[in-house]
Amino acid sequence: MSDITSVSTQDGGRDKIFIFDTTLRDGEQSPGASMNMQEKFRLAQQLVMLNVDIIEAGFPIASKGDFECVKYIADNIKGVQIAGLARCNKKDIDTAWNALKKGDNSRIHTFLATSDIHLKHKLKMTREQVFDLAVESVKYAAAYTSNIEFSAEDATRSDLDFVCRVFEAVIEAGATTLNFPDTTGYALPEEFGKQIRYLVQNIPNIDKAVLSIHCHNDLGLAVANSLAAVNAGARQVECTVNGIGVVTKHIHPTSHMVSTITGMSVQPNKAIVGANAFAHESGIHQDGVLKERTTYEIMNPCDIGLTKGNIILGKHSGRHALKDRIELMGYNLVDEEVNRVFTRFKDLADVRKEIYDEDLEAILMDEIIRIPEMYELVSIGVMSGSMKLPTAAVRLKIEGKEREGAAIGVGPIDAAYRAIAQLTETKSRLLNFSVSSITGGTDAQGDVLVRVEDRGTVVMGYGLDPDIITAAAKAYLNGLNRLVYLEKESLKSTAS
Tell me the three-class secondary structure of the chain, residue by residue: CCCCCCCCCCCCCCCCCEEEECCCCCHHHCCCCCCCHHHHHHHHHHHHHHCCCEEEEECHHHCHHHHHHHHHHHHHCCCCEEEEEEECCHHHHHHHHHHHCCCCCCEEEEEEECCHHHHHHHHCCCHHHHHHHHHHHHHHHHCCCCCEEEEEECHHHCCHHHHHHHHHHHHHHCCCEEEEEECCCCCCHHHHHHHHHHHHHHCCCHHHCEEEEEECCCCCCHHHHHHHHHHHCCCEEEECCCCCCCCHHHHHHHHHHHHHHHCCCCCCCCCCCCCCCCCCCCHHHHHHHHHCHHHCCCCCHHHHCCCCCCCCECCCCCHHHHHHHHHHCCCCCCHHHHHHHHHHHHHHHCCCCCECHHHHHHHHHHHHCCCCCCEEEEEEEEECCCCCCCEEEEEEEECCEEEEEEEECCCHHHHHHHHHHHHHCCCCEEEEEEEEECCCCCCCCEEEEEEEEECCEEEEEEEEECCHHHHHHHHHHHHHHHHHHHHHHHHHHHHC
In sequence order, the 6+-apart residues with CB closer than 8 A to the CB of 416 are: 380, 382, 392, 394, 407, 409, 469, 472, 473, 476
Which pLDDT score is estimated for 209? 97
Residues 354 and 430 in one domain: no
Indicate which CATH number applies to the domain containing 477: 3.30.160.270
Residue 4 covered by a domain = no
Residue 254 covered by a domain = no
- Split into its structural domains, the chain has a count of 3
Mean pLDDT by 10 residues, the chain (496 residues): 40 72 71 68 87 93 89 94 96 98 95 93 94 98 98 95 98 98 91 98 97 88 93 93 47 61 54 46 37 51 53 69 78 87 83 68 70 89 90 95 95 94 93 76 75 83 87 92 81 69
Residue 276 covered by a domain = no
Distance CA 130, CA 119 (A): 8
Distance CA 257, CA 242 (A): 9
Residues 433 and 460 in one domain: yes
Residue 251 covered by a domain = no
Instruction: Classify each residue of 121-150 as buried b or exposed e, where b means 16 or more C-beta atoms within 10 Å of its C-beta.
Output: eebebeeeebbebbbebbebbbebbebbbb
Instruction: Classify each residue of 41-58 as buried b or exposed e, where b means 16 or more C-beta atoms within 10 Å of its C-beta.
Output: bebbebbbbbebbbbbbb
Residues 145 and 86 in one domain: yes
Which pLDDT score is estimated for 242? 44
Residues 436 and 325 in one domain: no
Residues 345 and 488 in one domain: no
Residues 143 and 178 in one domain: yes
How many other CB atoms sit within 10 Å of the CB of residue 70? 32
Q: CA angle, 394 as apex, 389 and 396 as ends, to 5°?
A: 165
How many other CB atoms sit within 10 Å of the CB of residue 61? 21
Q: How far is CA 389 from CA 383, 393, 410, in A?
A: 8, 13, 8
Residues 43 and 178 in one domain: yes
Task: Provide the residue range defining the domain that includes 363.
Answer: 307-368
Last residue within a domain, chosen from 352, 368, 384: 368
How many residues are given for the chain? 496
Residue 25 covered by a domain = yes
Which pLDDT score is estimated for 69? 92
Residues 80 and 118 in one domain: yes
Distance CA 281, CA 286 (A): 7
Residues 398 and 356 in one domain: no
Last residue within a domain, chosen from 323, 351, 368: 368
First to last CA, the chain: 34
Residue 5 covered by a domain = no
Indicate which CATH number applies to the domain containing 69: 3.20.20.70
Distance CA 268, CA 279 (A): 10
CA atoms within 13 A on the CB side of 257: 30
- Strand pairing of 236-239 and 375-383? unpaired
Residues 325 and 189 in one domain: no
Residues 99 and 187 in one domain: yes
Residue 321 covered by a domain = yes
Residue 260 covered by a domain = no
Residues 352 and 437 in one domain: no
CA atoms within 13 A on the CB side of 400: 0
Assessment of whether the complete model's pTM goes beyond 0.85: no
Last residue within a domain, chosen from 240, 270, 291: 240
